[in-house]
Amino acid sequence: MKFGILVNEGPYNHQASDSAYRFAKAAIDKGHEIYRVFFYYDGVLNATKHSEPPSDDRNVIKNWQKLAEDHKVDLVVCVAAGFRRGIVEDSLAPGFRISGLGQLIEAGIQADRMVTFGD
Amino acid sequence: MSTLHTVNKSPFERSSLQACLGHAQASDSVLLIEDAVMAALSGTAFAAKLADAGQSIKLFVLGPDLKARGLDPAKVVNGITVIDYDGFVDLAAENSTIHSWL
Amino acid sequence: MGEDMEEEYEGGIVKKFMFVNRKAPYGTIYALEVLEMVLISAAFDQDVHIAFLDDGIYQIKKGQDTKELGMKNFSPTYRALEGYDIEKLFVERESLEERGLTEDDLLVPVEVISRAEMGALMAGMDVVLTA
């Protein structure tokens, strides 16, 4: 089954991104496909290459990056929400790409299920 | 057609659980995650409401979120099933729509 | 709004989309960015529904004036949705009553339905997007 995932919140204020990552990983491990993960609202902050969390905690951005690397998951950051928050092409960690909101609607159409994680 | 509803906020703080239960249809599933897991414990002010909702709706709670908060999965309200992320994925696949109450 | 408007979608699949608004405007950005999402969805020829319940009904309260906040008053955009062929706006009656509001307090034509009807409507959706 193809899942689309929407992440509404940034990496550390809320658990949303962690929950979305755990869900995505479990889905892939069970043989499902993640059609796309779309980052919107403050969720765009999950894509920043400048995050350096303390070494004794998980690295949310790296988790996503690794998922993209290992399983070719499409990680898309909303351009409009990103520009508002200072997330532009140059800010992106490897594995993320920036594109329009239409990519979210398209994921809703193409994926079998759309799951939202937010505040 | 059935819906998996997810709720992620404590009912002591937000109205999302109440809103969810007010709209979920019989045969839908409701999964408590993140800070909503406290609603699953027996002995809280919401236990009776949950037990009542469980008569028509299938109720689930995410075990890893319970454990992280020091809450005992053995002490959830009767009728609520404790699941892990694999179970979350299964529920999302089994239901045709997922409605996240934020 | 809509600097990233997509081209007309040619996929052929039409799904029932619902955007659920339960939060008031201005205190958080959700109402505004949901609206941006709704506008983009218009380009995809989907069956779009917008639901306003709980504090979400304040998004379409008449008389919004944000001048003293220096924030953009985006409420006129709800009236422009019709021009995008987005006309299925639903408001929950109980949410209005709980807040001492009536349909006359709303700035755009909507269909007022009961909580039970809202639950049934939600149950028929393919994709539900919330914030």
pLDDT digits (tens, 9 = 90+) for B37-74: 999 999 999 999 999 999 999 999 999 999 999 999 99
Residues in A lying within 8 Å of B, measured between beta carbons: 1, 3, 8, 15-16, 19, 22-23, 25-27, 29-30, 32, 112-119
Residue identified by tokens 């919107």 is A40
- Mean per-residue pLDDT, B72-90: 97
CATH says A2-117 is which class?
Answer: alpha beta
Active-site residue flag, A78: yes
Residue of C nearest to B16 (CA): C22
**Residue pair A106/C13 in contact by the 8 Å Cβ criterion:** no
CATH of the domain at C79: 3.40.1260.10
A79 contact C CB<8A = yes
pLDDT tens by residue, C58-111:
999 999 999 999 999 999 999 999 999 999 999 999 999 999 999 999 999 999
Percent of chain A scoring above 90 in pLDDT: 100
pLDDT tens by residue, A61-86:
999 999 999 999 999 999 999 999 99
Residues 6+ apart with CB under 8 A from A119: A8, A9, A14, A16, B8, B102
Q: Could you report how far apart the first and last alpha carbons of chain A are, in Å?
A: 26
The reply to whether C91 falls in a domain is yes
CATH number of B3-101: 3.40.1260.10
pLDDT bracket for residue C2 (50, 70, 90): very low
**Amino acid in the structure at residue B14:** R
**Residue pair C122/C51 in contact by the 8 Å Cβ criterion:** yes
Provide the domain count of chain C.
Answer: 1
Q: Catalytic pick from A47, A78, A104, A107? A: A78
Residue of A nearest to B86 (CA): A26
Owning domain of residue C105: 16-130
Residue of C65, C49, C50, C56 lying closest to C96 (CA atoms): C56
pLDDT at C3: 42
pLDDT tens by residue, C3-23:
444 445 656 899 999 999 999
Q: Are C128 and A114 inside 8 Å of each other by CB?
A: yes
Residue identified by tokens 């979608």 is C9
CA gap C117, A52 in Å, rounded: 48
CA–CA min distance A39, chain C (Å): 12
ipTM over 0.85: yes
Residue of A nearest to B68 (CA): A15
Q: How far is CA B75 from the centre of its chain?
A: 14
CA–CA min distance A22, chain B (Å): 7
The reply to whether C7 falls in a domain is no
The reply to whether C1 falls in a domain is no
The reply to whether C116 falls in a domain is yes
Buried b (16+ CB within 10 A) or exposed e, C44-67: bbbebbbbbbbbbbbbbeeeeeee
Residues of chain C with C-beta less than 8 angstroms from the C-beta of A105: 6, 9, 17, 37, 40-41, 43-44, 46
The reply to whether C28 falls in a domain is yes
Buried b (16+ CB within 10 A) or exposed e, B10-31: bbeebebbbbbbbbbbeebbbb
Could you tell me which residues are beta bridge partners of residue A34? A3
Q: Where are the domains of chain A?
A: 2-117
Q: Are B99 and C128 inside 8 Å of each other by CB?
A: yes
B34 contact A CB<8A = yes
Average pLDDT value over all residues in chain C: 94
- Mean per-residue pLDDT, B19-37: 98
CA gap A70, C14 in Å, rounded: 32
Residue C1 pLDDT exceeds 90: no
Report A:18-77 residues touching C (Cβ under 8 A): 40-41
